[in-house]
Structure 1
């Protein structure tokens, strides 16, 4: 079975009881996610999160802390019935807005960015990474992984 590794960096930005999310178009089905995305070859993950947040939300941010890492492995069906052993590693950073204006991404993997009340997040159609990031933010585990 073919193996594929994807490393990405994501931002958890909370202010005034709201979290900044981007709406990801997953095969045309929108789901809310944390702003961020895949590292380019040779790119530092710190720079990745700054670039991705600006691309997806219009905001310039600064990293205020490293929250943790999400590592997930799953089989992914590809064309012609082939299956890939997909390993996804997401680095979760806490950030704060330093400039820019909220806007939507054009021509990317997201189509909208918005602030959401923290207590409204459970009702949103969202990817599991949102809950994982918020859990890291609330619990602040030293290991960078929530307790099971």
Structure 2
């Protein structure tokens, strides 16, 4: 069985009563809102990765202020040529504050739109579960950095 590990860094950026999100475009064309962020390059520090990704996807310069937590997902997949696979995603989630730049959309990347959304409307958005996990970590600030939404003891 082929195994794949992807390590990524994401930002929770709240300003007043709004959160900054990027709209991710899946390979099948489906569009869902996500936290700005993405995969780390080999040799890159997580803090550098989240700063780079926020700028790439939103146009803003960001500074991580708090490590909110680490989330892990695992999914199986079938590849027609390679057979079964096992994917694990390790997602490092930071709270960030903006230090410059201006809102713009990414071109030629995995997202097509960046926007501020009122916190009260997030649950009505088409979104990936990472948005809910990030907001839970931001609100609850669990001591071990694990969202109650992904903790098996709560399920």
Q: Normalising by structure 2, report the TM-score.
A: 0.93
Task: Mark the runs of 5 or more structure 2 residues left unpaired by the alignment.
Answer: 149-153
After TM superposition, what 4+ stretches of structure 1 lie above 4 angstroms from structure 2? none
SS in 2 for 1:50: helix
SS in 2 for 1:53: helix
Q: 1:78: how far off? A: 2.3
1:19-30 to 2 correspondences below 5 Å: 19-27=19-27, 28-30=29-31
CA deviation vs aligned residue, 1:6-27 (integer Å, no higher than 9, x gap): 0000000001100000000012
1:1-148 to 2 correspondences below 5 Å: 1-27=1-27, 28-80=29-81, 82-147=83-148, 148=154
Is the 2:14–2:20 contact (alpha carbons within 8 Å) kept by the matching residues of 1? yes
Deviates most, 134-143 or 73-82: 73-82
SS in 1 for 2:81: helix
Task: Mark the runs of 5 or more structure 1 residues left unpaired by the alignment.
Answer: none
RMSD: 0.9
Q: How many residues align?
A: 148
